[in-house]
């Protein structure tokens, strides 16, 4: 999973190279020519994509990691709809919605419940289903400069990511009560619900973007940085009848995005896009509810979470 994300991030970096122009030939600020040619008032696009992502869930005890759950979305199909409106020659508003469709997922749960630095308990769950994945984005861009044939933009907006995965069946290796390290194992029945996990991650971001025309190909790229706002998650351990609700402190957010498009008609374009985003590790408090007895407990600084995702897609965009 990590190798795939590193490879795709490298591809994003290579694709940004077309935006590197010759600085000594920079023109004064102007918005004729290239910018005005792209200045249709409204645009709408639809895109089919491929999503790969990894979410981490952590449990801490006295500053030590005692549990880590790794939730992988290995290959999910996505549908994205996006609308853009030019409010003025420089200001543009945009909104998008992405929905993920279940395909291939995986979960592994590691525990460190002995003095050994190696894990003492582990369960793996190949039957892990994506219950839902939704990413919403509302943004604005301001065309600030034009250098040669490149327009530089100031970006800002809000993004919200919400997904849920559920694991079923699987196998479990654990250290016995008499101290035999990884000395026993068992299997969960196929189809038996084990854990359901959900993350909800709002983020406020800003950044810089660039657009450039090279022949008939139009490139758009951006780098975004920001902070999460009231991030939270929920974990339901079905076999233990426990619900864990975590609320996290703010943490950094980073995204890289790229789109390359070519005209297919007077008002239509075909495009290839890629977006990598990372919600850095968040830490916070845990509220635990025993669903059998109704008893609840609060633990300070006992939870952590993170998310990184890559979505690659192809689509059509129409200008009005």
| Separation between Cα atoms, residue 136 and residue 81, nearest integer Å | 10
| Separation between Cα atoms, residue 271 and residue 318, nearest integer Å | 11
Q: Give per-residue burial for 289-301: e unless 16+ CB within 10 Å, then b.
A: beeeeeeeeeeee
CA 288 to each of CA 56, 110, 244, 245, 296: distance values in angstroms, whole numbers, following the listed order: 19, 19, 5, 6, 5
Residues 6+ apart with CB under 8 A from 246: 232, 233, 234, 235, 284, 285, 286, 287, 303, 305
Question: Which of 111, 220, 233, 246 is the catalytic position?
Answer: 111
Question: Which of 8, 121, 237, 287 is the catalytic position?
Answer: 237
Q: Where are the alpha helices (DSSP H) in the chain?
A: 2-15, 34-37
Is 301 labeled as catalytic in the residue annotation? no
CA 192 to chain centre: 28
Radius of gyration of the chain (CA): 23
Q: Give per-residue burial for 115-135: e unless 16+ CB within 10 Å, then b.
A: eeeebbbebbbebbebeebeb
Provide the 3-class DSSP secondary structure of residue 9. Answer: helix
Is 111 labeled as catalytic in the residue annotation? yes
Question: Which of 109, 220, 233, 246 is the catalytic position?
Answer: 109
Question: Which of 137, 220, 233, 235 is the catalytic position?
Answer: 235
Q: Token pair for residue 167?
A: 């694991």
Residue 168 · residue 189 · CB < 8 Å: no
Give the residue numbers marked as catalytic. Answer: 109, 111, 235, 237
């Amino acid at each position: 999973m990590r190798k795939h994300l590193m490879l795709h991030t490298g591809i994003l970096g290579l694709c940004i190279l077309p935006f590197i122009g010759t600085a000594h030939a920079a023109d004064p600020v102007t918005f004729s020519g290239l910018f005005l040619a792209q200045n249709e008032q409204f645009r709408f696009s639809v895109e089919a994509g491929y999503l790969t992502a990894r979410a981490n869930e952590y449990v801490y005890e006295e500053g030590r990691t005692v549990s880590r759950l790794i939730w992988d979305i290995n290959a999910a199909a996505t549908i994205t709809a996006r609308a853009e409106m030019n409010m003025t020659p420089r200001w543009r508003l945009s909104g998008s919605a992405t929905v993920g469709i279940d395909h291939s997922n995986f979960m592994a749960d590691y525990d460190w419940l002995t003095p050994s630095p190696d894990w003492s308990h582990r369960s793996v769950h190949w039957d892990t289903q994506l219950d839902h994945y939704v990413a919403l984005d509302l943004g604005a861009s301001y065309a600030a400069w034009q250098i040669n044939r490149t327009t530089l933009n100031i970006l800002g907006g809000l993004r919200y990511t919400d997904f849920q995965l559920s694991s079923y069946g699987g196998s479990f290796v654990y250290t016995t009560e008499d101290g035999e390290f990884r000395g026993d194992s068992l299997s969960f029945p196929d189809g038996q619900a084990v854990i359901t996990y959900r993350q909800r991650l709002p983020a406020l971001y800003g950044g810089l973007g660039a657009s450039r025309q090279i022949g008939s190909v139009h490139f758009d790229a951006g780098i975004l940085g920001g902070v999460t706002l009231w991030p939270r998650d929920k974990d339901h351990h079905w076999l233990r009848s426990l619900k864990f609700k975590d609320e996290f402190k703010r943490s950094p957010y980073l995204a890289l995005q790229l789109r390359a498009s070519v005209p297919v008609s007077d008002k239509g374009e075909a495009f290839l896009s890629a977006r990598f985003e990372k919600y850095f590790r968040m830490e916070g408090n845990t509220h635990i509810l025993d669903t059998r007895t109704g008893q609840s407990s609060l633990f300070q600084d006992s939870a952590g979470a993170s998310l990184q995702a890559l979505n690659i897609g192809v689509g059509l965009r129409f200008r009005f």
